[in-house]
Amino acid sequence: MDERDAVWLSDWGNNTMVRFDPLTATFLTVPLPSANANVRQILGRPGEVWLPLSGVDKLAVIRPE
């Protein structure tokens, strides 16, 4: 969960991150920048979601609006 109480999850099959906003009951899908990213952990700090892309040895960050 982020500081806005949104829930984040990794969708390996679609190579995306998914955010669920419980206040509006809506989903947002965010495509990952590399194929086969395989996000295994989701970390963060206020205003950012950090993603280690273990499948491609990269690091990504999402800054939701």
Answer for the pair 59, 53: CB distance below 8 angstroms, yes or no: yes
Mean pLDDT, residues 44-64 taken together = 92
Total number of domains constituting the chain: 1
Answer for the pair 60, 51: CB distance below 8 angstroms, yes or no: yes
Q: Would you say residue 29 lies in a domain? A: yes
15-51: per-residue pLDDT in tens? Answer: 999 999 999 999 999 999 999 999 988 988 899 999 9
Q: Would you say residue 49 lies in a domain? A: yes
Q: At residue 14, what are phi and psi to the nearest 5 degrees?
A: -110, 5
Range of the domain at 56: 7-62
Q: Would you say residue 2 lies in a domain? A: no
**pTM score:** 0.82
Q: At residue 6, what are phi and psi to the nearest 5 degrees?
A: -75, 145
